[in-house]
Chains A and B, each alone.
Chain A
């Protein structure tokens, strides 16, 4: 579902670096995410920033950051090669990781004053596709502003 109200004025909003290249918040279709800093840096705020934060924390391995052992999830480590991947198994792993990420983000949100469209309300896995050496996760993120964003996260396994 596309973002209902497009806020073009981000005056006063804190910005993050955009790494979701090619993501169009106006589109109502599920869009694949391609990560990178791009040839020229650009900033983002609002729902796009929220999606980024969610993705970064989901794919950061738990305990891989010195002095920040609680940051991240165990989802990335579950994608190690050699495992027998199935939709059920991936959904199971994702749900556990998702719960950890939501808890982490909501705890941080309670200590800061973020705009509603930058606060996560929930996230869940819409579908999983396993094709050859790639797994595609169709994830929906819902903000406190009521906006949903569906994005496709393709991962190599």
Chain B
């Protein structure tokens, strides 16, 4: 500046210096140093691996194409929000209308404008409309929402994944209003977001990209699933020599033969929930029967709730009996002999009886019910991928099964190093959540790792023992059975092949909030 304009006074204290040049220099310095650092770091594979931050260099994209690998651009978190309103009228929700979860700091927006209308008999919903339904003295409608950008959902930061669970309460964005608004809550679990793949993640996949894609090894399966299923995390394969594989022993001698394998997949950090409407038949005055086919929600873990359609109360109708079976009316179907083998696979079916009083519908009459189920996403896609004529090994039978979930809850009591300062509880919770969800198949949950995480913060002491509890949803066919574990040292998945549970089939899951909206990872500070 001084060189170009000799008459400009840029000495300290001048307006030009203090209010213009210094401010501009500061802004440019930040941009330039970041760009230079990122550019320098991403210029070679070695530098990208050694960089302190995340880089997204176009050079890496070009390099990755040589290895048959493309960068995963990430996925937005999506979900549905049930909005309760007071009046029966038409509601207009603009595109970008936001709902916020103040405790988690999450914000979701409606991707397209919708109109919530109350339908009279004979009316049909048009494109861009959702139905306003009566509920008690009020009304509600459900809108689809998504996060503003791709990536795993964060709590005040940009690291770990935290999933919004069913019935999590939301508020309107403080800058927005909705006449007659009463409340909002999550309608089913939200999907997991996926971060845009960094250069480092991309480089680690070079080896997978070069691997033979013939589904003949765990690495090949991992490579294929990662490329095809956006939120795929990890898998475990049980084969002929594993006690967990019972399908191959269905012969006269009970000897396992080759050609079959079970692929246990984890397609996300958390278990998702989905709501479907299914018709049930009234069998007597208070009992109804419903059949959930294999195509309803493939391989779901359990039924969360059954309620009459359009009358969503809290809770569920009482389920009297449920029996899981299987259906193989598909091409290239895997070999199955029992309902237990089909549990948590895309062939699983379910027949259930539940109670409900409706004097209007006669016996053998039908009625629509809303069923919420918990499931592993993309299970059908994974199975269809390995069964497709283009990919499948002609001499092999790969059955894709959802990982048996072991839901973890932890209770921690921390003593602060500085009594006047609050601990960043949400950050500690996120780190613990991320650790639990990243434990691979076969590894135990080490309790001392949770203590280590706490000591990364201003924690003077962690009350011992730290009790970790796990609830395994067993793949039984007659009821929703669970197996409870607890440990204060390391939580180990027991080896019970007859029950379908073993370190090769079961994975640890931690959700931020349970179905009641309470924190699964409870932290109190003294």
A: residues with CB less than 8 A from B are 12-19, 45, 49, 52-54, 56-57, 60, 65-66, 68, 71, 104-105, 108, 112
A60 to chain B, nearest CB (A): 6
Q: How many A-B residue pairs have CB under 8 A?
A: 52
A56 in complex: contacting residue of B6, B8, B13, CB < 8 Å = B13
Instruction: Report yes or no: A16 in contact with B9, Cβ–Cβ below 8 A.
Output: yes
Contact A112 B11, beta carbon cutoff 8 Å: yes
**B14, CB-defined interface residue at 8 Å:** yes
Tell me whether A14 and B7 are in contact in the complex, defined as CB-CB below 8 angstroms, given that A56-B19, A68-B22 are known contacts.
Answer: yes
A34 to B416 alpha-carbon distance, docked (Å): 50
Q: Does B175 contact A (CB under 8 A)?
A: no
A14 to B6, CA, bound (A): 7
Please indicate the chain B residues that have their CB under 8 angstroms from the CB of A16 in the complex.
8-9, 14-16
Residues of A close to B11: CB separation below 8 A = 14, 108, 112
A123 to B318, CA, bound (A): 85
Kindly list chain A residues whose C-beta atoms are within 8 Å of the C-beta of B19. 17, 19, 56
Complex contact A53–B26 (CB within 8 A): no
Interface hub of B12, B19, B20 (most chain A Cβ within 10 A): B12
Given A56-B18, A60-B18, A68-B22, CB of A13 within 8 Å of CB of B7: yes
Residues of chain B within 8 A (CB-CB) of A13 are 7
* Complex-state Cα separation, A18 to B19, whole angstroms: 12
The interface bits of chain B over 57-96 (1 if a CB of A lies within 8 angstroms of the residue's CB, else 0) are 0000000000000000000000000000000000000000
Query: Are A15 and B22 in contact, CB atoms less than 8 angstroms apart?
Result: no
Could you tell me if B7 and A108 are in contact, using CB atoms closer than 8 angstroms? no
Kindly report which residue of chain B lies nearest to residue A19, judged by CB atoms.
Answer: B15
The CA-CA distance from A112 to B18 in the complex, in Å, is 18
* 24 A-B residue pairs with CB within 8 Å: A12-B7, A13-B7, A14-B6, A14-B7, A14-B11, A15-B7, A16-B8, A16-B16, A17-B15, A17-B19, A17-B20, A19-B19, A45-B9, A49-B9, A53-B13, A53-B14, A56-B13, A57-B18, A60-B18, A65-B22, A66-B26, A104-B12, A104-B13, A108-B12
Give the distance to chain A from B280, nearest Cβ to Cβ, in Å. 65
**A105: chain B residues within 8 A (beta carbon):** 13
For the complex, what is the distance from the CA of A56 to the CA of B15, rounded to whole Å? 7
Bound CA span A57–B11, Å: 12
B30 to chain A, nearest CB (A): 9
A52 touches B22 (CB 8 A): no
Distance A97 CA – B64 CA, assembled complex (angstroms): 59
Residues of B bordering A, CB below 8 Å: 6-9, 11-16, 18-20, 22, 26
List chain A residues, Cβ under 8 A from B22: 65, 68
A49 vs B7: C-alpha distance when bound (angstroms): 13
| Given A49-B9, A108-B12, 7 additional A-B pairs, CB 8 A | A12-B7, A16-B8, A16-B9, A18-B15, A19-B19, A52-B15, A56-B19
Query: Which of B9, B20, B26 has most chain A Cβ within 10 Å?
Result: B9
Contacts of A19 in B (CB 8 A): 15, 19
Known A-B contacts A56-B19, A60-B18, A66-B26; the reply to A108 vs B9 at CB < 8 A is no
A14 to B1, CA, bound (A): 12
Distance, CA A45 to CA B11, complexed state (A): 13
Q: How far is the CA of A19 from the CA of B16 in the complex (A)?
A: 10
Q: Which residues of B have CB within 8 Å of A54? A: 13
C-alpha spacing A108/B17, complex, angstroms? 14
Write out the residue numbers on chain A whose beta carbons fall within 8 Å of the beta carbon of B14: 16, 49, 52-53, 56
Bound complex: CA of A17 vs CA of B17, how far in Å?
10
| Chain B residues whose CB sits within 8 angstroms of the CB of A56 once the complex forms | 13-15, 18-19
B6, B13, B22: which has the most chain A beta carbons within 10 Å? B13
Please, which residues of chain B bring their CB within 8 A of the CB of A108? Answer: 11-13
Q: How far is the CB of B24 from chain A (nearest CB, A)?
A: 13
A22 to B492, CA, bound (A): 78
CB-defined contacts of B12 to chain A, threshold 8 Å: 68, 71, 104, 108
Smallest Cβ distance from A157 to chain B, in angstroms?
22
Bound-state Cα–Cα, A98 to B18, Å: 18
Q: Whole-angstrom distance between the alpha carbons of A59 and B429 in the complex? A: 43
Residues of B within 8 A of A14 (CB): 6-9, 11
CA distance A57 to B22 in the complex (A): 13
Chain B: CB-nearest residue to A71:
B12
Shortest beta-carbon distance from A109 to chain B in Å: 9
A106 CB to closest chain B CB (Å) equals 11
Smallest beta-carbon distance B21→chain A, Å: 11
Chain B contacts of A66 at CB under 8 A? 26
Q: Which residues from A are CB-within-8-Å of B9?
A: 14-16, 45, 49
Q: A68 to chain B: which residues have CB within 8 Å?
A: 12, 22
